[in-house]
């Protein structure tokens, strides 16, 4: 089977090369047959990478340790689901996953039914660019990190999967993240095609709207599932540590979000053409940058694949892409100059620009902070770390203004906002927000950052409600529809707009979750003897059974089931554990989480004596005190719930709307 | 229980309460200080996490050491400085606000301010360009909307309205 995978990758390289050459010659000579053949090459790449991926999954599931990758990342005892997930556990497999996703997307694009005109003309160029990107990854999986390399020595059993990766989150997080990363290649390819063809209007933006949303959605899911994995698996009580690799995934999300908003200005007013080209270029490069950061080992990270020479390849690839893309943009600059005209400084358009400034500013701050250890070492020789204290100081104020802007934007008129319509539009939400702020203060929210964050969030919710209310009222007045019909049709006839509002609501839910779990987190640490209890917040935890152990062939689990109660209410038992894996130097924490909408009780088995460790493994009772670290994380569930609303909103916005029938001309001909 | 015993019990409870009132805020404050120090130091086990979040042995020892130093009367700054003396600036969770390291703190805000200024200037220019064209059209010196364009735009508005409702 390894041979099949090996050959599939080799043929993949050949068909990719062939397809690129066929596209170039086909475009040059306007040879339709050659272009069709090149398109066949794209499909072949998708088939071959599917065969290679299938081979790798088969090898992993059957524990074929004659293959180095299988031996390095799995072992015979691993559950099948994690054997399959080991596909992307290492460099070679994750690059194959990237290539596979790219090949499938390229085939979907190549075989999509274009509307006549510009879109049809663009397609061969777009496919060619996608294949050029694919060529880079095909080269890597063939010659630099081939997952089908035979094992260098005999393995009776594999080394096994990193225990931290043995979590359901690691099945969803990398795949969705990669689909998001790769998805941005499509709008990038269309943007470059628009430059090559000198068709710098908004055709490329209209064609790629759904692809951009698709990529953005998957990137969002990937980031949030990564946070969920960190929450339950890294065992430190939080979900976002501003780690370099986490930051690398946030960067294209920030610029991608800016792009999603700024294209609306180009669609409406034909402006910001250069800006949009630059934004999608930067977003695409940042997806590659994330991969470079994970694989180069230039920065320390809990997520990194470790040092490898792959970083150099990515650096060269990024440099080449940047050079070619910038050359194209500069060469076509006169075509990108638009008739920039704004009726007023104060308008919805300008609020979109401010949104872009803040998103890109935040992305720059994250990028600068992430890279600063390297800059500092190069300039001063000082090794420094840049962690949460810096990122929170810089990004929290930007984030709060951004959220406020989510509320302001829908209420400002397009073209020109006057003082009168500002007062009319803002009066109700402003009064409601002031009442909310006072009520929140009286309720006991006195922490300034929390009060500001919740007030701003409430403002956004009020504006969304007001927008929906106005929409329903106008609709009922114009059409005479009933309340529910008007409400339903308001959403379904304006999917993009109201899908966007749902996403904004999701962002607010996440902000509520982040604020609650950051500001009002309660924690406690205690060393308990058997029978003793500890109190954290309203919770009482009793260590009544001592430590226990289960021993499996591949790991030993030391655990205890604490009795949990809240006030007079018994909440049952909560297990927290430490696992000793043969392939991990230190013990792995398995946290206990009892969650609800209001708060999570998060328990870590922080430490126990060496004597007890040996005793429980030998079946004897533990005797020494055991240390527990307990967090009460308020509202954290709202962060996860926000994710589902975000998915719902994005899908709603992407879903094809009702198509209008083409108007019939006097002669009865459809135009 | 005799009155005397009740008095003794009440006295004991009073003393306990007084002790709690005196010591609890101090304890809470000391916990806050510890957390502040731990949040500003990076664990040196290689995990790249801040001390307050890490569960490794190095972090556990550091927590005990930090608590001890604070109990001895050292300030937060002094405790942090004592770690910088041993491990260098790499032990800090964020670069110090001194010398070249100021760049990391001010660059994001300066960039935003510069971006905001540039945006404002561009907007002013675009508004000016719009107004200039509008006045030209009023004077009759500029291009007015052609009749076929007007029909096209009206049709488009009609279609948009249909789509909306």
**Residues in chain A closer than 8 A to B163 (CB atoms):** 493, 658, 660
State the CB neighbour count (10 A cutoff) for residue B136. 12
Inter-chain contact A369–B108, Cβ cutoff 8 Å?
yes
Question: Any idea which of A65-79, A105-119, A476-490, A512-526 has the lowest mean pLDDT?
Answer: A105-119
Report residue B8's pLDDT band, with 50, 70 and 90 as the boundaries: low
Inter-chain contact A384–B159, Cβ cutoff 8 Å?
no
* C-beta separation of A206 from A195 below 8 A: no
**Residues in chain B closer than 8 A to A606 (CB atoms):** 55, 60
Cα nearest neighbour of B107 on chain A: A365
Q: How far is CA A491 from the centre of its chain?
A: 26
Residue in B24, B93, B128 to test binding to A, most A beta-carbons within 10 Å:
B93
- Kindly report the CATH number that applies to the domain delimited by B3-94: 1.10.8.640
- The alpha helices in A409-532, defined as continuous H runs, are 419-443, 448-479, 483-492, 495-519
Q: Record the tokens describing residue A669, joined without a space.
A: 């001909």
State the CB neighbour count (10 A cutoff) for residue A457. 25
A467 contact B CB<8A: no
Report residue A666's pLDDT band, with 50, 70 and 90 as the boundaries: very low
What would the mean pLDDT of B63-90 be, rounded to a whole number?
90
Rounded Cα–Cα distance for residues A484 and A415 (Å): 32
Which element (helix H / strand E) includes B8?
Answer: helix B3-39
What would the mean pLDDT of A201-223 be, rounded to a whole number?
91
Report residue A176's pLDDT band, with 50, 70 and 90 as the boundaries: very high
Cα nearest neighbour of A360 on chain B: B112
Look-up: residue for tokens 């100081």? Answer: A393
Phi, psi at A202, each rounded to 5°: -100, 10
Give yes or no for residue A299 having a pLDDT over 90.
no
Inter-chain contact A387–B50, Cβ cutoff 8 Å?
yes
Which element (helix H / strand E) includes A152?
Answer: none
Buried b (16+ CB within 10 A) or exposed e, A642-652: bbebbbebbeb
Helix-, strand-, coil-residue percentages of chain A, each rounded to 5: 65, 10, 25
A407 contact B CB<8A: no
The pLDDT value recorded for residue A306 is: 55
**Which among A341, A383, A390 is the nearest to B89, CB-wise?**
A383
Report residue A641's pLDDT band, with 50, 70 and 90 as the boundaries: very high
The SS3 of residue A371 is helix
Crossing angle of the two packed helices A185-196 and A203-229, in degrees rounded to 10: 160
**Residues in chain A closer than 8 A to B61 (CB atoms):** none
The strand order across the sheet containing A592-595 reads A522-528, A626-634, A599-607, A592-595
**Which among B40, B90, B126 is the nearest to A341, CB-wise?**
B126
Distance from CA of B49 to the nearest CA of A (A): 8
Inter-chain contact B126–A376, Cβ cutoff 8 Å?
no
Residues 643-662, chain A, touching B (beta carbon < 8 A)? 658, 660
A479 contact B CB<8A: yes
Residues 484-523, chain A, touching B (beta carbon < 8 A)? 493-494
Report residue A665's pLDDT band, with 50, 70 and 90 as the boundaries: very low
Report residue A667's pLDDT band, with 50, 70 and 90 as the boundaries: very low
Give the Cα-Cα-Cα angle A299, A301, A307 (nearest 5 degrees): 60
**Residues in chain B closer than 8 A to A607 (CB atoms):** 55, 60
Q: Using CB atoms within 10 Å of the CB of residue B84, give its burial: 0 to 12 exposed, 13 to 18 middle, 19+ buried.
A: middle
What would the mean pLDDT of B116-130 be, rounded to a whole number?
88
Report residue A71's pLDDT band, with 50, 70 and 90 as the boundaries: very high
Q: Record the tokens describing residue A170, joined without a space.
A: 């690691």
Q: Record the tokens describing residue A488, joined without a space.
A: 């339903």
A343 contact B CB<8A: yes
Residues 604-643, chain A, touching B (beta carbon < 8 A)? 604, 606-607, 629
Q: Record the tokens describing residue B68, joined without a space.
A: 């001890």
**Which among A243, A361, A494 is the nearest to B164, CB-wise?**
A494
Inter-chain contact B89–A604, Cβ cutoff 8 Å?
no
What would the mean pLDDT of A101-115 be, rounded to a whole number?
91
The partner residues of A527 in beta bridges, in order of sequence, read A627
The SS3 of residue A525 is strand
Q: Per residue in A11-58, pLDDT tens?
A: 999 999 999 999 999 999 989 999 999 999 999 999 999 999 999 999
Give yes or no for residue A208 having a pLDDT over 70.
yes
Inter-chain contact A479–B42, Cβ cutoff 8 Å?
no
Which element (helix H / strand E) includes A607?
Answer: strand A599-607
* C-beta separation of A180 from A217 below 8 A: yes
Q: Record the tokens describing residue A204, joined without a space.
A: 């490329």
**Which among B89, B94, B165 is the nearest to A389, CB-wise?**
B94
Inter-chain contact A604–B55, Cβ cutoff 8 Å?
yes
Q: Per residue in A546-583, pLDDT tens?
A: 899 998 878 899 999 999 999 889 999 999 999 988 77
A and B: number of Cβ contacts within 8 A: 140
Sequential DSSP letters for A278-304: HHHHHHHHHHHHHHHHHHH-SS--TT-
What would the mean pLDDT of A375-391 be, rounded to a whole number?
88
Rounded Cα–Cα distance for residues A609 and A607 (Å): 7
The pLDDT value recorded for residue A420 is: 81
Nearest to B49 by CA among A388, A373, A299, A298: A388
Inter-chain contact B39–A389, Cβ cutoff 8 Å?
yes
The SS3 of residue A92 is helix
Cα nearest neighbour of A303 on chain B: B47
Q: Per residue in A602-631, pLDDT tens?
A: 999 988 888 988 898 888 888 899 999 999
**Which among B46, B93, B164 is the nearest to A387, CB-wise?**
B93
Residue in A238, A388, A517 to test binding to B, most B beta-carbons within 10 Å:
A388
Inter-chain contact B55–A237, Cβ cutoff 8 Å?
no
Look-up: residue for tokens 């390229």? Answer: A106
**Residues in chain B closer than 8 A to A521 (CB atoms):** none
Domain ranges in chain A are 1-162, 418-519+639-654, 522-634
Nearest to A177 by CA among A281, A97, A82: A97
Share of chain B above pLDDT 90, in %: 20
The more confident residue out of A588 and A363 is A363
Cα nearest neighbour of A244 on chain B: B48
What would the mean pLDDT of B109-119 be, rounded to a whole number?
94
A663 contact B CB<8A: yes
Rounded Cα–Cα distance for residues A147 and A83 (Å): 14
Rounded Cα–Cα distance for residues A330 and A122 (Å): 20
Q: Are strands A522-528 and A626-634 parallel, antiparallel or unpaired?
A: antiparallel
**Which among B95, B123, B125 is the nearest to A372, CB-wise?**
B95
A514: left (phi over 0), alpha (psi -120 to 50) or beta: alpha
Residues 231-290, chain A, touching B (beta carbon < 8 A)? 235-238, 241, 243
């Amino acid at each position: 089977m390894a041979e099949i995978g090996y050959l599939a990758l080799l043929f993949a390289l050949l068909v990719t090369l062939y397809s690129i050459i066929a596209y170039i010659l086909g475009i040059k000579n306007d040879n339709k047959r050659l272009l069709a053949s090149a398109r066949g090459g794209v499909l072949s790449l998708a088939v071959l990478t599917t065969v290679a991926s299938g081979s790798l999954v088969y090898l992993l599931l059957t524990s074929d340790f004659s293959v180095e990758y299988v031996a390095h990342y799995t072992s015979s005892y691993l559950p099948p689901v994690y054997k399959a997930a080991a596909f992307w556990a290492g460099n070679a497999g994750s690059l194959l996953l990237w290539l596979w996703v790219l090949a499938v997307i390229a085939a979907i694009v190549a075989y999509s039914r274009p509307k006549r005109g510009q879109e049809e003309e663009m397609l061969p160029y777009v496919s060619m660019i996608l294949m050029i990107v694919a060529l880079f990854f095909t080269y890597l999986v063939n010659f630099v990190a081939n997952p089908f390399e035979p094992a260098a020595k005999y393995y009776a059993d594999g080394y096994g999967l990193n225990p931290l990766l043995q979590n359901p989150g690691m099945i969803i997080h990398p795949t969705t993240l990669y689909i998001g990363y790769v998805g941005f290649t499509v709008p990038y390819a269309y943007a470059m095609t628009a430059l090559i063809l000198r068709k710098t209007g908004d055709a490329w933006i209209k064609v790629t709207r759904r692809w951009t949303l698709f990529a953005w959605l998957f990137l969002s899911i990937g980031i949030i599932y990564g946070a969920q994995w960190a929450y339950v698996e890294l065992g430190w009580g939080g979900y976002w540590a501003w780690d370099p690799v986490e930051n690398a995934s946030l960067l294209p999300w920030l610029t991608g979000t800016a792009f999603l908003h700024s294209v609306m200005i180009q669609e409406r007013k034909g402006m910001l053409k250069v800006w949009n080209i630059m934004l999608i270029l930067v977003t695409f490069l940042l997806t590659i940058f994330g991969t470079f950061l994970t694989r180069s080992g230039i920065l320390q990270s809990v997520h990194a694949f470790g040092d490898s020479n792959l970083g150099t390849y990515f650096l060269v690839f990024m440099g080449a892409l940047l050079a070619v893309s910038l050359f194209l943009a500069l060469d076509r600059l006169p075509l990108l100059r638009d008739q920039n005209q704004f009726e007023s400084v104060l308008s919805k358009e300008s609020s979109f620009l401010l949104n872009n400034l803040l998103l890109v500013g935040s992305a720059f701050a994250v990028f600068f902070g992430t890279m600063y250890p390297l800059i500092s070492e190069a300039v001063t020789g000082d090794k420094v770390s840049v962690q949460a204290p810096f990122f929170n100081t810089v990004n929290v104020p930007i984030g709060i203004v951004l959220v406020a802007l989510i509320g302001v934007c829908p209420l400002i008129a397009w073209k020109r906002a006057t003082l009168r319509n500002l007062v009319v539009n803002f009066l109700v939400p402003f009064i409601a927000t002031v009442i909310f702020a006072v009520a929140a203060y009286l309720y006991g929210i006195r922490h300034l950052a929390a009060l500001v964050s919740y007030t701003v969030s409430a403002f956004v919710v009020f504006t969304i409600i007001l927008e929906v209310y106005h929409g329903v009222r106008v609709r009922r007045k114009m059409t005479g529809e009933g309340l529910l019909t008007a409400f339903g049709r308001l959403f379904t006839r304006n999917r993009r707009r109201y899908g966007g509002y749902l996403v904004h609501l999701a962002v607010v839910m996440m902000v509520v979750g982040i604020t609650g779990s950051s500001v009002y987190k309660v924690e406690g640490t205690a060393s308990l003897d058997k029978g003793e209890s500890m109190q954290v917040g309203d919770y009482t935890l009793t260590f009544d059974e001592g430590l226990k152990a289960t021993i499996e062939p591949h790991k030993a689990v030391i655990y205890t089931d604490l009795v949990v109660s809240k006030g007079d209410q018994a909440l049952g038992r909560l297990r927290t554990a430490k696992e000793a894996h043969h392939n991990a130097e230190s013990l792995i924490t398995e946290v206990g989480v009892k969650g609800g909408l209001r708060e999570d009780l998060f328990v870590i088995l922080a430490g126990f004596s060496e004597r007890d460790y040996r005793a429980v493994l030998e079946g004897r009772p533990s005797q020494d005190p055991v240390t527990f670290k307990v967090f009460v994380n308020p509202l954290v569930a709202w962060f996860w719930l926000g994710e589902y609303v975000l998915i719902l909103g994005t899908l709603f916005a992407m879903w094809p709307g009702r198509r209008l029938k083409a108007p019939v001309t006097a002669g009865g001909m459809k135009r | 229980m005799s009155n005397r015993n009740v008095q003794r019990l009440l006295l004991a409870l009073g003393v306990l309460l007084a002790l709690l009132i005196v010591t609890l805020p101090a304890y809470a404050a000391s916990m806050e200080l510890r957390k502040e120090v731990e949040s500003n130091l990076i664990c040196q086990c290689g995990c790249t996490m801040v001390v307050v979040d890490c569960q490794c042995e190095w972090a556990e020892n550091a927590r005990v050491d930090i608590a001890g130093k604070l109990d001895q009367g050292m300030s937060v700054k002094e405790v942090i400085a004592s770690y910088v003396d041993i491990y260098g600036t790499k032990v800090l969770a964020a670069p110090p606000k001194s010398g070249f390291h100021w760049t990391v703190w001010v660059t994001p805000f300066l960039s935003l301010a510069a971006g905001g200024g540039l945006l404002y200037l561009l907007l002013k220019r675009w508004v000016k360009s719009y107004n200039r064209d509008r006045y030209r059209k009023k004077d009759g010196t500029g291009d007015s909307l052609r009749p076929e364009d007007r029909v096209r735009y009206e049709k488009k508005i009609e279609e948009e309205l249909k789509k909306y409702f």
